[in-house]
Amino acid sequence: MILHKIEQIVYAWLPLFDSTRQGRQNALSEVQAEYAQGQYYEKLALEHHQTFERLHAYQPTSENNPAIQDKRNAVWNFLSAALKGHRDSQYKLGLCYLNGELGLDKNYTHAQEWLEKAAKQGHPEAIKTLMYSYSQIAF
């Protein structure tokens, strides 16, 4: 009798959990797409930077440099995904701040913050990077 009541309750609540799970899956897909887009812009920035440097060797800081826009787009996409809890994006932002990449200035406080967030989610490279940084007293 009690088992039957429990089954009724579970089946009554099950559709709610399925819709919540579907919502989480949609959000996860969105975050993964933002991370992939960030990787795409990062690759473009590198390609544009190399091409631009070859063509405009005497004007490396020209405003016409498409690599600057690509870096900005990469950082924006990584940040958007990282704020939603995507651990690879958090790790990537941590590295960017640690090494001054993608147009970001070196900022050890921000680097530590993002690397710790990724490490708390079990990102192995973030854990290694934090351990190494702590051993070098970068933070």
**Each residue's pLDDT tens digit, 15-47:** 555 555 555 556 567 778 777 777 776 776 666
Of the candidates 91, 86, 88, 83, which has an alpha carbon nearest to the alpha carbon of residue 115? 91
Tens digit of pLDDT for each residue in 63-92?
A: 666 777 778 888 888 888 888 888 998 999
pLDDT at 111: 93
The whole model's pTM is what? 0.60
Q: What is the dihedral of CA 108, 110, 114, 115, to 10 degrees?
A: 10
Out of 2.60.40, 1.10.8, 1.25.40, 2.30.40, the CATH code matching 33-56+65-135 is 1.25.40
Percentage of the chain lying above the pLDDT 90 cut: 28
**What type of residue sits at position 56?**
H
pLDDT at 52: 47
pLDDT at 5: 56
pLDDT at 48 over 60: no
Site of tokens 């900022």 = 107
Crossing angle, helix 124-135 and helix 87-99, to 10 degrees? Answer: 30
| More confident call, 53 vs 31 | 31
Of the candidates 31, 49, 139, which has an alpha carbon nearest to the alpha carbon of residue 88? 31
